[in-house]
Amino acid sequence: MTADGATLDGARVLVTGASRGYGAAVARALAARGAHLLLTATDTAHLARVAGQCRDEGCACDLLALDLSSARSVDAAAAEAARAVPRLEGVVLNAGVLGPMGPLDRADPDAIGRAIDVDLTGQVRLLQRISPLIADRAGVVLVTSGAAGRAGYGAYALGKAGLEALGLMLREEWAPRGIRVVAINPGPVRTDMRAEAHPEEDPATVPPPAERVAPVIAVLAGDDPGPRVQASEWGLS
């Protein structure tokens, strides 16, 4: 299946970290294909702007404030999602923070813990809370990174490695329900986080996020390419 021909008319999809960057690009692509969106972010001002763009495509769009570092916020957002829709046909866990980079033995352990709360622990809690909403045969996308487990990338590398492990576990545990759990690595894309991690890089040398959303759309539309996908290789023979 290709993303170009995919339609998601009425499919209810929750996207975290949708206020900017890759999450915003995914949200706009889903809106163009008719999805009913539940968009979350900590920064609801930026989120409202993205929601407006999605509604311009004619789609329904609900906004949920979500701070993944706060258990109370995660629980409240999950409860609000349950009030907004009876079930979810798709979930895209995109939210994340960079946290301290550099050698782990030189990083502030408390700062590492705060980043892991967002990049992994909060994601686990959110999936636990919304699992009753996730429909059989739904698509669940975990946005990962080439930095997963990579030396020098500190807390972010730890969190993304854990997220990939989470994906493998849930893929097996939810297989009886036909739920497709896929970790998708967008690769280098032009985002604020990329600029923070690589200040020496010319942003014009990396593609915009919209060029790397195709595998997300395909998974949510029913494709199952396997447990992990490199978006930069999607569609190549």
Given 27, 38, 115, 156, the catalytic residue: 156
Residue with tokens 């050698």: 103
* Type of residue numbered 150: R
Length of the chain: 237
Count of beta carbons in the 10 Å neighbourhood of residue 5: 10
Q: Which two tokens stand for residue 77?
A: 């957002």
Q: Is 156 a catalytic residue?
A: yes
Output DSSP code: residue 127.
H
Tell me, rounded to whole angstroms, the distance of Cα 235 from its chain centroid.
Answer: 21
| Residues paired with 229 in a beta bridge | 184
d(CA 99, CA 115): 5
* H helix runs in 56-185, sequence order: 71-84, 109-116, 122-130, 154-173
Is 182:225 a contact under the CB 8 Å cutoff? yes
**Rounded (10°) CA dihedral 104, 105, 108, 113:** 50
d(CA 145, CA 231): 10
Catalytic site residues?
A: 156
